Structure 1
Amino acid sequence: MNDSLKQKIKQFVLTGINEEKAAAVPDPFWQGLRNAGTELWLDTGDMDEAEKNWSVEMTALTTNNTLVNKEIQKGIYDDFIEKAKVIVSELPLEEQIVEIAFILNARHGMRLAKKFGGKVSVELHTNTAHNFDAIIDYGLRYHDINPEQFIVKVPYTAVGLLGARRLRELGVKINFTLEFSARQNVMVAAITKPNYCNVFLGRIGAYIKDNSLGSGEGGGERAVISSQRYITELTKTNAEPTKLIAASLRNFDQLDALAGTDVFTMPTKVASEGKLNLSGKFSSKVGVVYPVDLTDEAVVYAPEKIWNVTDKELELAKSLDKDCPKSGNELIDRVHQAGCGDMFPYLSERDLKFIADDGKIPKHERWAHRIESGELAIDTLLNLAGLASFTADQAELDERIRKIITTS
């Protein structure tokens, strides 16, 4: 795509945004969490729900393919899509769809930025997850639209690690996403040095519980606290240390259990229930080691890989930073050569289809023997399932775009 069209798209995204600034007042409850050391973000693309929960102490909102798709499916952008079609009409149909998806993410992100005045995490199209050039191109274009407020979310893939590293070198703010363990976050922090990285803690507990490996209690919390410790130590001398996000909290009790974590991304339901049920007297829990309720049988599947980091994994991350691979395939090969192949396993198309078909929480029984053998790991499966889930939601959004631009 030529630069002239990119500039037309940028102007189209920015034109006519007239959001009324959301009223925000100080709230002692949320100030208590801030005093404990936690930055507060709302995890929603719904502007009305965000406004009901927004306070002076909150600094950002985060969206993803799922959350943006929910807003698009309401029909509130259908007329906007019609207008966007005119701007990108010179492109082939499939490129039009991807470009309009970018336009919608950027437009909705700008509306959130204008209304709430904070930072906004914006998501890449899922078809860029393994495409270095596309990650760089769209990351830079988001940055060009709003360099102060936009934080670009890049997913945990081998290519994503390298693409995000390059974007950081170019000054783009990065929220590295779809991590499910401390060792994944060590890889991210060492190689990419992002502004933010994540633990999607709710799905860790759900995997354990849904697959009868235990009650699910403590797993996500322990992964967050462990990640926080490693990330703080690993990036403390960086020009801009990486902050850890406890991502997509599932229940209000986690506001207290994880107080002191660098950042919370809170669904509005969790935020509102927290205010109703908690005292607001928070203290940092970053030194707590939460026990994880597991069955006796679960230990053969090495669930501790979710919160433990071996010396071998730590040295691998540092070596990949020092001598950065030139491609995603090279990175994966070096991970295997280091004896850490379960972090980026070689999988068939059939394997990937099974993971996608399972949904957000993989069916452990299907993968149990490969996990026990060390070929796969729970955090890796959760990452692949998360990306597949986002891809499905992206496909639904793309299909709405397709119908509008092909029938009008």
Structure 2
Amino acid sequence: MSNLDTAKSIEIISLDSPQVERIADFVRDGIDLDSPPHTVQSSSFWQRINGAETSLWIDSGDIESIDRLWNEQFSGLTTNNTLLNREIQNGIYDDLIPSAQDVVGNLSEQALVREIAFILNVRHALRLVERFRCDVSVELHTDVANDSEATLAYARRCHQICPEFFVVKVPLTPAGLIAIKQLRDEDIRVNCTLGFSARQNYVATALSRPSFVNVFLGRLNSYVAENQLGDGNLVGEKTTLASQGEVATFTRGLPTTDTRQIAASLRDASQLPRLAGVDVITMPTKVARQAEEALQDPWQSQLHDTYDVYLDDKVDPETVQLEKLWAVRKIERSFVQKAILSPPTDAAELRLMAADYDLEDLFPVMADEELSTIAEDGKIPNHQRWQERIVRGDIAIDSLMTLAGLASFADAQAKLDQRISEHLR
């Protein structure tokens, strides 16, 4: 078996089922989005230091931690399966699970757990909206990452619950890109997550027009450093600025595309000024606190800068092909032109179209055993395991990191699902 996107049939509730409205009412119960939001103070620090006018978001689901930092200069929140799992493991929704079970009704155990996970996810996101009245990016269950139809079903329901503030997060998989295109045609805002390169985000922007794309830049720096390929300095920053340039150029050329670039996965406050000018920076609360303590000088836009990145002298660049993170080659542009003229209708067709342009490394085919190995390695894969395939050209660091990121989220999702199972009647 492999992840060929001939996806397993996922049991979902039909959008026109009365259950959907009952669940939506249950999620909204007790949430008041009509009353005036609580007063938010301005911050002279963030107002002064963010001279590049980058939108600032916080990457957290912890309401108390966000509350201590929140001010008028922050405009959005991002959550994910890992961040949500942290909140669920605190037990704050244990009492809600049996009630949710009653509302959901008769489903198989796996579908029931998935449905309650959806309820907890959007319920927590609504609490964030109630408190901060800002856009909140909401992640879907990892089970649907390789299933376009299931992604569409859950994304539509998520949007219906809070169309004004919810942004649906969909991972950068072939099935995800197919779903994103349809969602954007329906005017549903989407945050295309788990991007790691300029070329990935160029393809996503051209094919699917998401509202946002990402570079998880801290993980890129860690990949190079932890695999002893180099010091890792500025790898992610260089990639993010390159991706910003590609996305901005494409959106200027097509008035129907409004994609914005997010710099994600920041590790410390020193990265903030290096990313000045990027459309959006989403930072953990730890990084925001560090910034308030350590940063002094106003940021200057870095959009026209090109950072230098170096590998260790003993490393053969051909075995790493690091330039694929920030370079969009003629071959990717030709593939995109073809895909725009003849849009793929499903994930398998998109993968085959990429292969026709010798771009198997964008959407690599992986055996289940290989996917298990990636999951065991965690967020940062072991480069030596994949070096031969990188040289051969059927996988690359960006697509490998996307798979690792998805596996990491799936691990957190499994822990969350287990918590739900323990509290079912």
In structure 2, relative to structure 1, the CA distance for the partners of 1:131 and 1:45 (3 Å cut) is same
Q: What is the aligned partner in structure 2 of residue 219 from structure 1?
A: 235
Question: What is the CA deviation profile of residues 260-302 of structure 1, one whole-angstrom value per residue up to 9, with x for unaligned ones?
Answer: 1000011000011011101141111111101113113141221
Structure 1 residue aligned with 2:356: 337
Q: String of CA shifts for 1:90-132, please: whole Å, max 9, x gaps.
A: 2222111010010011100000001001000001100111111
Aligned to 1:101: 117
Distance 2:417 2:224 in 1: 33
CA distance in 2, matches of 1:238, 1:400: 45
Alignment pair present for 1:404 and 2:420 = no
- Specify the alignment match of 1:391 in structure 2: 410
Aligned AA (1:372): V
SS at match of 2:404: helix
Structure 2 counterpart of 1:121: 137
Alignment of 1:3-402 (within 5 A): 3-17=17-31, 21-32=37-48, 34-236=50-252, 237-296=254-313, 297-300=315-318, 301-402=320-421
| Structure 1: 5+ residue stretches without partners | none
- Between stretches 351-360 and 317-326, larger displacement belongs to 317-326
AA at the equivalent of 1:304? E
Q: Which moved more, 1:276-285 or 1:160-169?
A: 276-285
| Cα distance in 1, alignment partners of residues 110 and 49 from structure 2 | 45
Mean Cα deviation higher: 80-89 or 177-186 = 80-89
Q: Name the CA distance, whole Å, in 1 between partners of 2:152 and 2:241.
A: 31
**C-alpha contact (below 8 Å) 1:195/1:243 kept by paired residues:** yes
Change (3 A) 1:33 1:129: farther
Aligned mates of 2:423, 2:49 — CA distance in 1: 44
- Partner amino acid for 2:354? V
User: How far did residue 17 of structure 1 move?
Assistant: 2.2
What amino acid maps onto 2:128 in structure 1? Answer: L
Partner-residue secondary structure (3-state), 1:115: helix
Provide runs of 4+ in structure 1 moved above 4 Å: 18-23
Q: In the alignment, is the contact (CA less than 8 A) between 1:231 and 1:243 conserved in 2?
A: yes
Q: What per-residue deviation string (whole Å, max 9, x for no partner) do you get for residues 209-268 of structure 1? A: 000000000100000000000000011132342100001211101111111100001100
Given that residues 165 and 193 in structure 1 are in contact (C-alpha distance below 8 angstroms), is that contact kept between their aligned partners in structure 2? yes
Task: Report the number of matched residues.
Answer: 406
Rounded to whole Å, the distance in 2 between the matches of 1:34 and 1:205 is 24
TM-score, normalised with respect to structure 2: 0.93
SS of the counterpart of 1:101?
A: helix
Provide the secondary structure at the position in 2 that maps to 1:286. Answer: coil
User: Contact 2:359 / 2:394 at 8 angstroms: preserved in 1?
Assistant: no
Contact between 2:76 and 2:136, CA under 8 Å: does it hold in 1? Answer: yes
Contact 2:49–2:296 (CA under 8 A) maintained in structure 1: no
Q: Are the equivalent residues in 2 in contact too, given 1:185–1:231 (CA < 8 A)?
A: yes
What SS is found at the alignment partner of 1:341? coil
Distance 1:7 1:280, change over 3 A: farther
Matched residue type, 1:299 = P
In structure 2, relative to structure 1, the CA distance for the partners of 1:340 and 1:62 (3 Å cut) is: same
* Structure 1 vs Structure 2 CA RMSD: 1.4
SS state of the match for residue 423, structure 2? helix
Residues 139-148 or 83-92, more deviating: 83-92
**Residues 161 and 33 of structure 1: CA distance in aligned 2, closer, same or farther (over 3 Å):** farther
CA distance in 1, matches of 2:316, 2:56: 34
Q: Tell me the CA shift for residue 34 of structure 1.
A: 4.5
**Does the 8 Å contact 1:29/1:280 carry over to 2?**
no
Secondary structure of the 2:95 match is helix
Equivalent AA in structure 1 for residue 281 of structure 2: F
Q: Hey, which of these two has a bigger chunk of helix by percent?
A: 1
CA contact (8 A) 2:50 2:298 kept: no
Q: Percent identity?
A: 42
SS at match of 2:361: helix
Measure, in 2, the Cα distance between the counterparts of 1:372 and 1:22: 55
CA distance in 2, matches of 1:45, 1:22: 18
Distance 1:52 1:25, change over 3 A: same
Equivalent AA in structure 2 for residue 306 of structure 1: L
Displacement after TM superposition at 1:368 (Å): 1.2
